[in-house]
Amino acid sequence: MRMSEGVEWALHSCLNLTWLPGGHAVPVAKLAEFYGLPAAYLNKQLQALARAGIMTSTPGPRGGFQLARSPERITLLDVVVAIEGPDEAFRCEQLLRRGPGADPEVDYRQACLVSQAMRRADLAWRRELAGQTLADLKAEVERRYPDTPSNTANRFAALRA
């Protein structure tokens, strides 16, 4: 399974917003410039986060994006689903229905052991992402790289809007 780069961009954008003073929307141009990303494409990802209730979007010259809820209430799965959608990674097309000895009355999505194994793996992956919040990730970054919060805030302050 491969996720789009939008997931990485969205997670880093959310994380960076946790280190900026609250109450101020950050323009997409600043968020994009931080990593040298294309603003239009990043804007698409951030709009998806806004539709999912993870960020808010304020239009206008003083507008931009900010987190819609506290980092403790945003899971990594929330961000992934907002960007990639809710569908399972594996889609059983009931290939066994076309094989020898197939029974047209059987729902192979339920009976197929390959489908069951893939569903278990998908659930484990989702559980892991749902069990980690943006606050958990923020705390781990701050533990390992204590200068990150101030470096991030200083870099954003130096970027042009």
Other beta carbons less than 10 A from residue 28's beta carbon = 22
Q: How far apart are the first and last CA of the chain?
A: 36
Question: Scanning the structure block, which residue is given the tokens 């929330």?
Answer: 78
Provide block-wise average pLDDT over 10 residues at a time, the chain (161 residues).
90 96 88 95 97 94 92 98 92 85 83 91 96 98 97 90 56
Question: According to the model, what pLDDT value does residue 161 have?
Answer: 56
Determine the 3-state secondary structure of 125 from DSSP: helix
CA distances from residue 119 to 112, 115, 136 in whole angstroms, order as listed = 11, 6, 26
The answer for residues whose C-beta is within 8 angstroms of residue 51's C-beta and 6 or more apart is 82
3-state secondary structure of 132: coil
- What is the pLDDT at residue 97? 82
Strands (E), the chain: 55-58, 64-67
pLDDT for the residue 1: 67
Q: How many CB atoms lie under 10 A from the CB of residue 14?
A: 24
| The pLDDT of residue 75 | 98
Q: What pLDDT sits at residue 145?
A: 97
In degrees and rounded to multiples of 5, residue 64 shows phi and psi of 150, -155
Non-local CB neighbours of 98 within 8 Å, separated by 6+ positions:
none
Eight-class DSSP state of 65: E
